[in-house]
Amino acid sequence: DARHYGITRTIAETERLLIREFTTKDKVDIFPDISVDPEFTEKYIEKMYGFFGYGIWALISKQNSSIIGRAGVYNREGYDGLEIGYEIDGPYKGRGLASEACTAILQYVHDKLFQNEIYAMIEAENRISEKFIKKLGFIYTGTYDGYNRYRKYLTAENKRV
């Protein structure tokens, strides 16, 4: 495995972004909303990327080579199927980067992870994310645990936005 030799795996490349695995050398948290220690990051990289082959990935700006957010797929405990998640850092919001990243990730999920459907869980009051996820082609399937759940079927014809 390339990770064993310190080689970072690139997931996708778009016009403005490089989507790659996080590394222990990155100076940002994978999950900025919760405090995590370097040991957690190391275990996350080993378990998620090493075992599952997916997880939350770093979004790198091609313009300045800095990490401008994170996005990827994961399994939410208690639910079937992969879920997509995304977060763009403050100064980079509103530029279409989330759409660019998520479109590339949906293609990756279909082409490389061989998944035919994917979910998104959005907090019920988060209207901006609901509008965004619908724009990506997700369809509302119900409310669970305070989240609105959406599904998108991935086919060769509809994986792109």
- Give the integer Cα–Cα distance in Å for 14 and 5: 26
Instruction: Indicate left, alpha or beta for 58 from its phi (over 0: left) and psi (-120 to 50: alpha).
Output: beta
User: pLDDT at position 32, please?
Assistant: 67
Cβ proximity of 17 and 96 under 8 Å = no
Measured torsion, CA atoms of residues 53, 41, 43, 54, in degrees rounded to the nearest 10:
-10
Say how far apart CA 134 and CA 121 lie, in whole Å.
Answer: 12
Outline where 53-96 has alpha helix (H).
Answer: none
Mean pLDDT of 118-132: 94
pLDDT in tens, 62-114: 999 999 999 999 998 888 899 999 999 989 999 999 999 999 999 999 999 99
Give the number of residues written for the chain. Answer: 161
144's enclosing H/E stretch is strand 139-144
Whole-number mean pLDDT of the chain?
87
Those residues whose C-beta lies under 8 Å from the C-beta of residue 136, and which sit 6 or more positions away, are 99, 102, 103, 106, 152, 161
**Taking the model in full, what pTM does it have?**
0.88
